[in-house]
Amino acid sequence: MTDRAIPGWKDKTLFTPGPLTTSRTVKQAMLRDLGARDGGFLRVVAENRRMLLKAAELDPEEYDVIFLQGSGTYGVEAVLGAVPRDGRVLVVNNGAYGARMARICAVAGINHTVLAYPENLPANPADIEIALMDEPAITHVAVVHLETTSGLVNPIDEIGAIAARHEKQYFVDAMCSFGAVPVDFAKARIDWLVSSANKCLEGVPGFTFVIARLDCLRGSKGNARSLSLDLHDQWEYYGRVGQFRFTPPVQSLLAFHQAMVELEAEGGVAGRAARYRGNFETLLAGMRAMGFAEYVPAEHQGYIITTFMCPDDPSFDFNVFYDRLSLRGYDIYSGKVAEGNCFRIGNIGRIFQEDMEDLLAAIRDTLRAMGVGTLNR
């Protein structure tokens, strides 16, 4: 049963990159008070770790999960902060989150080299190979899997194979893909991956998590530039003491456990991928039928979030369009790419085919009410 069937439970539907619409049962899992050292709570955390490794199809002898308080950026910053002082990161930048990695490095004084692309094009693995040959001082390669800025997908398997061939550590920001876009750690040779509770796993905000290859994690001891973002310290403390170092987001971790149960009930990553892909295909067909064009070429577009160009019509004002949709109960997202007048629609979270159809009908009505006349409606 979706929340729309229960009076009072239906908030606006979020067609954003997160935080997202969550199930009623995920929200209800938070209605508890548990101490940070409570045995029941610690069992939930251990279970969350086990379920994440299962979803990633990883061996606990090879990889571990580190939960870290804060949003996704904290996890990205923690992994970059684990690069040795004499290391150097090759940062692939084709959007705001690649750019954020470079900024994190600049602020923390981490040596880095940026490989930049236009925001609607994926990284070219051949360029990574050249960059690694040109600059042997590079020790790590960092890339965003699904660039939420535009919705494009970077070729993480091909880039990982090159990084492994050159014996570099490989870091993938899978914030907006993990849990709904299959990630093959063995094929992509991933050493570090970051995601967050409130994206495709459909939990609520409160923490980020890092999945780390144990030998890389052990080798990073003492590298952190920050106490609170020291992954090795958090991992070691948890292993030794069985607790978080600092106040854990208890309710968020309880909600996450329920979210992981619901992921398994949906058929795991494959099941969630199927629902999101269906949502995306409905959205794309409906938007194209109204005359909207996408920013990212179809062959590079992921099925998580889509950037649409604003209609070239003087009656179209994105803020008015946004407000009118929001008043009707549908929250879309503004554009983030540097060039181009555009907006984004996400199709992730606890939303289904009927939500996509309702949104499309609302968009059609809103455009008509605004007098936008150039689209084929």
Least distance CB 252 / ligand PLP (angstroms): 12
Q: Which is nearer to ligand PLP, 73 or 220 (CB)?
A: 73
Least distance CB 198 / ligand PLP (angstroms): 7
CA distance 377 to 374: 9
Hunting for tokens 């409905």 — which residue is that? Answer: 282
Q: Which is nearer to ligand PLP, 199 or 360 (CB)?
A: 199
CA distance 20 to 26: 12
**Dihedral of the alpha carbons of 52, 57, 62, 68, in degrees to the nearest 10:** -20
List CB contacts of 187: < 8 A, sequence separation 6 or more: 157, 160, 161
DSSP string for residues in 212-224: EEHHHHHHTTT--
Least distance CB 85 / ligand PLP (angstroms): 24
The residues of the shown chain that bind ligand PLP, judged by CB under 6 A, are: 17-18, 71-73, 76, 97, 144, 148, 173, 175-176, 196
Q: Which is nearer to ligand PLP, 18 or 335 (CB)?
A: 18
Least distance CB 159 / ligand PLP (angstroms): 15
Q: How many CB atoms lie within 10 A of CB 84?
A: 15
DSSP assignment, residue 171?
A: E
Q: Which is nearer to ligand PLP, 178 or 316 (CB)?
A: 178
Least distance CB 95 / ligand PLP (angstroms): 8
CA distance 189 to 265: 28
Q: Which is nearer to ligand PLP, 72 or 125 (CB)?
A: 72
342: three-class secondary structure by DSSP = strand
